[in-house]
Structure 1
Amino acid sequence: MNFSNHNMTIAQAKTLDLINYLAVLGFKPSKIKGSDFWFLSPLRVEKTPSFKVNQKLNCWYDHGIGKGGNLIAFGLLYYNCSISELLQNLSHTFSLQKPITQHANEDPKRTYKIQILKEEPLASPSLLRYLEQRRIPIKIAQQFCVEIRYALNKNTYYGIGFKNDLGGFEIRNPYFKTSSSPKGITSFDNCSNEVVVFEGFIDFLSFKATTKNLPENSQDFVVLNSVSFFERARPFMENHQSIRLFLDRDETGQNYTSRALSLSTKYTDESKLYEHYKDLNDWSMNCGKSAKRHLGRKL
C-alpha cells in the first residue's frame, strides 16, 4: 500500500495493521496468546506487559491507563498531534517503510529489536530540513545529536539520534519517532545550582536555540525522554536549588508538573510561557523571533 503522493484518509488509516505499525515504531510483543498480542506499553514505562492488541479486531487497550481504540486513537496519544498531522505522518511512514508481518507461531523475542549500526555527524538533507522546519539551528542540533543508521527486522533506516545516559537513543526523522534500548533520561551536569527540565529533546534543542547567547555552562539540564521517567530523574533534579520545568501542556505533562510543585518549592512551572501551545517547540515555531525575546526576559 503506497500513499506517497497524498495523505491517506481516516478510512485508509483504519485499515492499517496495528501490530505492523507498532513494529515499524520499534515495539515488539512480549507474549502472544491466540489473537492477543501483549506489549510493554508504548505510551508509558512499565515492567509487566499490559498493552494488548487484538489481531482480529485490530484494536488496542492499555490496562494501565484504561484507554484503547483503533490505530488512529493510538497515534493521537503517541504523537500528541492532530488527526491531520497523524495522517500525514502515516502517509510518509507507509510509503517509505514496508510493514512487518508477524505470525502467531513466531517467537516475539526474535523480531522487532532495533540494532544501532552506525553513528555519524548529522548530514542527510531530509533530516536537516526537518530540523529547519522545527526552527532548530543545524549547529545546535549537531552539538547534541548524531545521525543514526539502524536495523529493524532486516531493514535499514536512519534518523536523528539523541543519546541517553544509559547509551540508548531517542530517534526521530520527519515521519516517525522510535527509540533503542536501553531507555532512560539524558542529563547534562555543568555544576550549576539550577536545572532545566524537558520531556523531549526537541524542546531541549528549542530552548538552546532561543537562549544561545547565555554562557554555555550556566545551567544543568535533564531531558526525561518520557515523562514517566520523572521519578528516575528526581535525585539529579533535586540536587539543585532551582528546578525549572518546561513540560508539555497536555494533561499528562500538567499532572506531572502539579505533582512536582507539591513535592518541593524548588520546582517552578515554566510552561505558562507557552500555555496556548502543545509544548516549547510548538510555541517557538509559531512565535518566531518573538519567542527569543520572551524567553530571554524570563531568564
Structure 2
Amino acid sequence: MITLQTIQIAKAVAIVDYLAYKGFQPVSHRGQRYVYYSPFRSENTPSFSVNTAINRYKDFGSPEAGDDIIRLVQLLSSCSFSQAVAKLTKFAGLESKPYFSLSGPIQPTQSKEEIRSVKLLANTQLIRYVESRKISFPIARTYCREVYYSQHGKNLFALGFANDRGGYALRNGVGTKRNLGPAGYTTIQAPQATTINVFEGVFDFLSALEYYRLSSPTFPTLVLNSTTNLESALPVLKGYQKVNAYFDNDKAGQEALSRLSNSDVTVTNRSALYASHKDFNAFWLESSSLMLC
C-alpha cells in the first residue's frame, strides 16, 4: 500500500527535472512557464507546457486536462499509478542508498547529515537567490544543483556546487555557506590546455562567465570552494604553463595569491580587474547594474 507521504514525495518531483532526466529540454521559457515539444509524439510546433509554480503540465495536443508529474510518468512509461510513484521516489533519491544524483551516485556522509536527493535547478526560491547575485538562470542551471539533505532530523535544501570528491559547496542566501560531504575543489574542463583559471568560490566563477559573456570557460578552470583547498590543488595547477588567479581582495585571498606565486607556477593576478571590490561577484553586481542604466 502506498502511503500518503510517499505520494506527496512523488508529486513534489519537479516536472522540468524529470523531463531533463528523460532527455527533453525546453524550447523556451518565460517566468514560470516552460514550453516543450511534446514528449509523446513528433511535432514541428511545441505544444507542451509546464507551469513550475504549481508543478503541472498541459499537453495542448491531447484532450486531457492539465495534470501532475505522476500522470506524466504513467503516460511516458506506460505504467500504473503505483509504478509511477515508485519511479519518482527512486528518482528523488528516497528509495534506497546510494542516493541518486544527475552526475552519478553520491555516498552518504558519515555524520548526522545525509544527502536525500540532487536535482536540476528549478526551485523558485533558489532561482531568486542566484538571480539576486546577477547570475542568469541558464548559467546557474548548468553548474549548480538543488541539494536536499537532512541535518539532525531536519529536512533542508540549498544551492549546491559539486566538487571533485562528491561533496557540495552549499549556499542559500539566508546564512548557509558550508560544505556537505567530502570537502574539495572543483575542476571544469575546456579546450585550451596551457592556461588554467582558478577562483575561490562558485559565484566568482559564475560572475566571470556572465562578465565575459560565456556559457562555458575558455580555459580549464579550478574553483577552490575554500582557500584551505589550495594546497591540495597545487599539483593540478602546476600542470599548466600559466595560472589566471581570480582571488578575493581580502587577507585570505591575498595570502592564497602569495602562496600560489611562491609555488613554482607562473601566475597572473586577475583580481586587478575588480581591485576596488572584495571579489568578482561584488564587482559584477555593480557592473551589471550600471549596464542597465
Alpha-carbon distance in structure 2 between the residues aligned to 1:141 and 1:227: 22
Which residue identity lines up with residue 210 of structure 1 in the other structure? Answer: Y
RMSD: 2.2
1:28-82 per-residue CA deviation (whole Å, 9 max, x = no partner) reads: xxxxxxxxxxxxxxxxxxxxxxxxxxxxxxxxxxxxxxxxxxxxxxxxxxxxxxx
Alpha-carbon distance in structure 2 between the residues aligned to 1:147 and 1:265: 36
3-state SS, counterpart of residue 129 of structure 1:
helix
3-state SS, counterpart of residue 151 of structure 1:
strand
Specify the alignment match of 1:183 in structure 2: 183
List structure 1 runs of 4+ shifted beyond 6 angstroms. none
Alpha-carbon distance in structure 2 between the residues aligned to 1:217 and 1:152: 34
Specify the alignment match of 1:167 in structure 2: 166
Alpha-carbon distance in structure 1 between the residues aligned to 2:217 and 2:255: 30
Change (3 A) 1:268 1:131: same
3-state SS, counterpart of residue 263 of structure 1:
coil
Q: How big is the shift at 1:264?
A: 3.2
CA contact (8 A) 2:241 2:265 kept: no
For structure 1, the residue ranges without an aligned partner over 5 or more in a row are: 1-109, 292-299
Does residue 152 of structure 2 align to residue 153 of structure 1? yes
Correspondence list, 1:204-219, <5 A: 204-213=205-214, 216=216, 218-219=218-219
Specify the alignment match of 1:54 in structure 2: none
Correspondence list, 1:27-106, <5 A: none
3-state SS, counterpart of residue 262 of structure 2:
helix
3-state SS, counterpart of residue 288 of structure 1:
helix
Alpha-carbon distance in structure 2 between the residues aligned to 1:255 and 1:150: 33
Normalization by structure 2: what TM-score?
Answer: 0.58
1:146-180 per-residue CA deviation (whole Å, 9 max, x = no partner) reads: 11111000100111111000000111102022211
For structure 2, the residue ranges without an aligned partner over 5 or more in a row are: 1-108
Alpha-carbon distance in structure 2 between the residues aligned to 1:161 and 1:289: 26
Percent identity over paired residues = 31
CA contact (8 A) 1:144 1:162 kept: yes
Alpha-carbon distance in structure 1 between the residues aligned to 2:110 and 2:163: 23
1:183-217 per-residue CA deviation (whole Å, 9 max, x = no partner) reads: 11101133521111011111111111222347x46
Specify the alignment match of 1:130 in structure 2: 129
CA contact (8 A) 1:112 1:153 kept: no
CA contact (8 A) 2:238 2:265 kept: no
CA contact (8 A) 1:169 1:181 kept: yes
Q: How big is the shift at 1:265?
A: 5.2
Which residue identity lines up with residue 154 of structure 1 in the other structure? Answer: G
Larger radius of gyration: 2
Q: How big is the shift at 1:111?
A: 10
Q: How big is the shift at 1:252?
A: 1.2
Which residue identity lines up with residue 190 of structure 1 in the other structure? Answer: A
Does residue 118 of structure 2 align to residue 114 of structure 1? no
Q: How big is the shift at 1:181?
A: 1.6
Which residue identity lines up with residue 228 of structure 1 in the other structure? Answer: T
Comparing 232-241 with 261-270, which one deviates more in the overlay? Answer: 261-270
| Bigger RCO (CA 8 Å, 6+ sep) | 1
Specify the alignment match of 1:243 in structure 2: 243
Specify the alignment match of 2:221 in structure 1: 221
Normalization by structure 1: what TM-score?
Answer: 0.57
Alpha-carbon distance in structure 2 between the residues aligned to 1:287 and 1:213: 16
Alpha-carbon distance in structure 1 between the residues aligned to 2:170 and 2:113: 11
Specify the alignment match of 1:255 in structure 2: 255
Specify the alignment match of 2:283 in structure 1: 283
Alpha-carbon distance in structure 2 between the residues aligned to 1:287 and 1:212: 13
Specify the alignment match of 1:11 in structure 2: none
Specify the alignment match of 1:197 in structure 2: 198
Alpha-carbon distance in structure 1 between the residues aligned to 2:290 and 2:258: 28
Alpha-carbon distance in structure 1 between the residues aligned to 2:127 and 2:180: 21
3-state SS, counterpart of residue 285 of structure 1:
helix
